[in-house]
Amino acid sequence: MADPTHAAASLENLPLFTEPDGGNGSGDEWGDTHHSLSGPGGQTDLRRSLQARLASASAQRGRGPGPSGQHARRAEDELTALERSGGVLRPTSRGGEVDWGLVRAYREQAADQLAHALRSREGLDDAGRRELGRSIVVELLADHAERALTKGLPIITPDEQIQLAEAIMAALFGLGRLQPLVDDPGIENIEINGHDNVHLIYSDGRIVEGPPVADSDEELIETLSFLATRTGTNERPFSPSNPRLHLRLRDGSRLAATAWITPRPVAVIRKHRLTDIGIKELVDLDMLSPAAAAFLTTAVRARKSLVVSGAQGAGKTTLVRALTNELDPMERIGTIETEYELHLHDMPERHKRIVAWEARPGSGERGPDGRAVGEITLDDLVFDSLRMNLSRLIVGEVRGREVLPMFKAMQSGAGSLSTTHAHSARAAIERLVTCAMEAGQHVTESFAYRQIAEHIDLIVQIELIDESHAGGKRSRYIAEIIAIEPGEHGLPAITDVFQPGSDGRAVPGTPPIWLSDLERVGFNPRLLDHGGAP
């Protein structure tokens, strides 16, 4: 058992009480976990209060009742709640690992207190909520340490204090046991098929078994549901009546999950490693040639509308982000996505005049019009965008009916960009036609082909080659770029501007008929005449 006097002093050294060390500089919600409490006198007053309370509790130990009044009653109630949930303030690690059952008990109390406190603090921003949450966690730890001293219970060591404080904050505001996996820069995808069946896919293609992310499937579902309710204004339902979840995490990662319709809860976290990136960096990564880079950059600047297609994880969003990062920072841009993935609005130096929209799924209830209560669709956002003085409108990923808002965005202004899943550039055309026809019987095949022919200028195909299973690496590269023009009977006429070479990578083919449009914004046509050499 740790010495009570030492425990009282060492609680002062929790990361929550010490001066900031600069944090991790990430600027996301969990980069602040190690920061001190801010605000005039907040840190100093709390330290003094904590020291006084623990000193008083230590003096009372073994000779009479513990602290009295409101704090004592609250401490008693909360300690009882912890004991009922299987935990008291005792060593938090088993073999150096955090006792997540205890963390969960603390998180539930902290979440309830935070929700109650926020009712009287409407409009509090993220920083304010984190500040409030930290103060609640500190109070919980202080109350229980004080109560443990008076009852003669074991006291947690300094190392355990650090583990416990960080774990509670991560569970309350972050991803709990998932947080270290999301923080690992080498991990690209996290696959979860039940709480104890976890696989980590690294950027080099390695697949490694990961640690359990919960103690049971029920706890995993509870964690996912908790995350879904903590998304601020765009709260996402996750329940037996809404068994599918699509969620943007604080660091920009994308989470997709299902439960109740699968044997075990399933979740996949897709991390975006390359966010603040330009087209030159992709050339350096051998994703495309200098000729293809110059062609696509000037095509975007000339306000040609592009669709980037490829397999999952091929780098479609990364390419769109890199192309938009080549635009004039003062251009007025709008982005419309089901979940934020481009994150152009998080790069104010690159995009100074940007409006970013995110759709809202709404609740499970239906209104008189048949729509989910609170639902905001991509169609709604496109309609709203028409009064926002935008130069161009970018619609993110197209997986189904999103194709119609994409067409509308391309009609409202040239220079739009989108992504879709397909195994070739020509297959992307058929994919978009299928997506359009899913919108209902009012969308015919001929209508869909005509929209593609009239509003899409280029389709860029990215290939993902994974040879990691044979000891090789994963590589991503542009395989083809086709230009589209209206042809006979409203069908798209296709020009192979870049086509697969001997190694599968795109090499110059036939120039598009509108090549002069690119020349006006700086494209050198000789890049297409000499196989990419100036």
Give the 3-state secondary structure of 322-341. Answer: HHHCCCCCCCCEEEEECCCC
Res. 495: pLDDT tops 90: yes
d(CA 397, CA 316): 9
Average pLDDT in the 396-423 region? 84
Instruction: For residue 248, list its beta bridge partners.
Output: 254
Paired residues of 484 in beta bridges: 494
d(CA 10, CA 161): 9
Give 370's pLDDT tier (boundaries 50, 70, 90).
low
> What mean pLDDT comes out for the span 25-38?
34
* Residue 359 zone, left/alpha/beta (φ > 0; ψ -120 to 50; rest): beta
Fold (topology level) of 279-529:
Rossmann fold (3.40.50)
Top mean-pLDDT range of 34-48, 77-91, 93-107: 93-107
Backbone angles phi, psi at 398, to 5 degrees: -110, 115
pLDDT at residue number 6: 42
Do 17 and 23 contact (CB within 8 A), yes or no?
Answer: no
Specify the residue for token string 């995490």. 249
d(CA 149, CA 146): 5
Domain ranges of the chain: 4-174, 181-270, 279-529
Going from the C-alpha of 303 to that of each of 329, 456, 518, the distances in angstroms are 15, 11, 9
The 10 Å Cβ neighbour count of residue 529 is: 12
Which of 260-269, 346-355, 388-397 has the largest mean confidence? 260-269
* 154-168 confidence digits (pLDDT tens): 666 656 666 777 778
Kindly list the strands in the beta sheet with 254-258, ordered across the sheet, starting from the edge strand earlier in the chain: 207-209, 198-202, 187-193, 266-270, 254-258, 244-248
pLDDT above 90 (res 426)? yes
Class of domain 181-270: alpha beta
Q: Give the tens place of pLDDT for each residue, 430-442.
A: 999 998 888 778 8
- pLDDT band of residue 308 (cuts 50, 70, 90) is very high
